[in-house]
Structure 1
Amino acid sequence: MNADIVFDEERPEQQSVVDYKKNQKQRKLLAYLYAEGTCTLARLTKVLHSSVPSVTNLVDELIQDQWVTPIGMGSGSNGRRPVLFGLNSQYHYTVVLDISTHDTKILFMNTQREVVHRCDYPLQLINNPDYVLSLVDCFTMALTDSGLSLGQLITVGVSMPGLVDARRGINLTYKNLSKGYDSLTQCLSEKLSKPVYILNDTKATVLGESRFGNAKGKQQMLAINIDWGVGLGILVNGHVFQGASGFAGELGHIQVEPEGELCHCGKIGCLDTVTSASALVRRVQRDMQAGQVSKLAVFRHEIDKIDIDEIISAARHGDSYAIDVLHEAGLQLGKGLSVAISLFNPEVIIIDGVLAEAATFILNTIEQAINKYCLSDFRNDLTIEITQLNGAAKWLGTHAYMMEDIFANY
């Protein structure tokens, strides 16, 4: 079976039962190796409920197609040590375009989820009518720098903020990106000459956390992505909850301050306006101009130099004003999360995004707010944790989204 047929839509209308069962087992084998890393033939026979000769034939075919390779030797106390098999990391590379409002990252990844090359660009999504053209130029440069060829890439995955309908490949928040095309995926696929997947950044985060983070094995979990906006990823019965149009999880747009600021969405007092990184930066900049006493006052005449990293750094150095700002953000986040907890009754909440760096200052206050606003029965078995994936959850989730779909259609 050739890897090219992964994207071949011209499939036979009828398929023999034998071939169908064989394909099903190959898909399950690939998905298992992707999730677990390595496995022996003996273990694969149990996973696939097949005989050793049958599984050996499946593995041999996948080795010929360059999807699987021997990785090393397993441990064993009786006789010869078993061979470990895993996905071949020398073929079938994917690209993740990690797009945010303030920068763009391009990551080339192998089947073992390893980043083999990364390029960061100060390419901003907001107020940039030529974003797609610039993105294509950056992709071309990054591909050259990576040492890979276009033929070695099997697909491109896009993680980005906004109201993303993954099924239709559109982003309703940034409609102009795909001007002249039916969808953003169609636009990028034509320009990059590869199949393209698109996923909301927070949904990519919850998928990464559920597959490879502290939430692995959990069936009901939430991941809050506190970046330049606030998003909520929802896992229900082990699957990412999308909603009718793929927009579920816009926690940042629930109202927490009826007399608050105008949000960019057009509503008043959204959670985004008091807890997102951009909101915190705006608040601190205003307070510094108004004469607030703080270590951050050194930027009073260079107000644009204040960013979220400077605020967190000031808090770590004991600045009481910066600590209070983060403390208040934690309380408001906890209040918003209390609504989500009451709706979804999760086992665990993972906190990710730029404010995860401020865990020391926000985690306790988030928990205090949840204790205050949630029924006790909802919080008894609930744990709240900071991500342990060090910013990689989005990339891993986007990669998993692509690879799991590829294996499902192999």
Structure 2
Amino acid sequence: MNPTTNNAPLPPDFLTLGLDIGIASVGWAVLSERHIVDIGVRCFDKAETAKEGESLNLNRRQARLMRRRLYRRSWRLTKLGRLLKQRGLIDSAAFFKHQPPATVSTWQLRVEGLDRQLSAQEWARVIYHLCKHRGFHWASKAEEVLAEGDAKGEGGRVKKGLADTAAKMAAKDYRTAAEMVLAEFPHAQRNKRGEYDKALSRVLLDQEFSLLFEQQRRLGNPWANAEFEQRIRGDGDRKSGLFWNQKPALAGSDLLKMLGQCTFEKSEFRAPKASFTAERHVWLTRLNNLRVVVDGASRPLTQNERILALLLPYQTDQLKYKTLKAALVKAGHIPDSARFGGLAYPSEAQKETGKTKDPEDQPLVRLP
């Protein structure tokens, strides 16, 4: 920045430092009033994998999330074991950690529980099994919708697996998920890594839980009363009960602890990126920095041009450079030969190859 406020010559020792900072290099130049003092670039490795382009911290983050998930599941099952001991179904809360080998699989017990009264330990095994392997549940509707358009990704494969198992249930009129799994997959009831053909939704397993409690009450099981079922399955809100229990999303004071303070307004929190004001700030900044090149001369947009461009991003999914240019040309502000600064326009020789892309076809801003 030039510290002088007039056209007086700069002092002989005045130097200008310029930096071009990227994700894998920092370019720099030191300029005096009359010549380049020094110039160079420092390159370094990107903080991402060479093949997939993923963050180097991705593995650490995934391992941390896995540790949290396993800890929460362990704590949920510990509380379940204590509840089962309290109700008299098992002798010790650690019963499932040291239980002897069973002659009948728990999957089979889940099917038999529809037609005969289960013993205390058998009923405890069924409850523990369902609460431990409680199926897949979408964290939000938005996540489920996003998976619909990602057929090749993990979310899309999970959604397809859930739809396939639901179709099998309906096609052959199975009473419960366990009945379907034993009939369709008698030799392997669990998905292997990367496979989702046996995926079960948590809603489907909750329906099985409800039917099992109903049948056990009808068959005279003393540990299948409505109050105990409510402790396990909750109030039907898919949030309460040990079966549905999960750590709630951050909210209130817990959420505010994660927010930093504004750099300029110290008493205010930083604005979220996914907000109208933050998006508008991004758009106004890009609008102010936008340059139009007409007859070789670069200039910012005029006030009338800014007013014309201001509402365009709110009328479409994303505003492209060519859309803005068409509006400015139609209004008579710029000629059709005008270009935008910062875009890499192809040369005439490159155009002749027919393999070039229109640089103005890329988005200028998107306000979701």
Q: Scaled by the length of structure 2, what TM-score is found? A: 0.22
Q: Looking at CA atoms only, which structure, 1 or 2, has the larger radius of gyration?
A: 2
Structure with bigger strand share is 1
Which structure would you say has the larger RCO, counting Cα contacts within 8 Å and 6 or more residues apart?
A: 1
Q: Scaled by the length of structure 1, what TM-score is found? A: 0.21
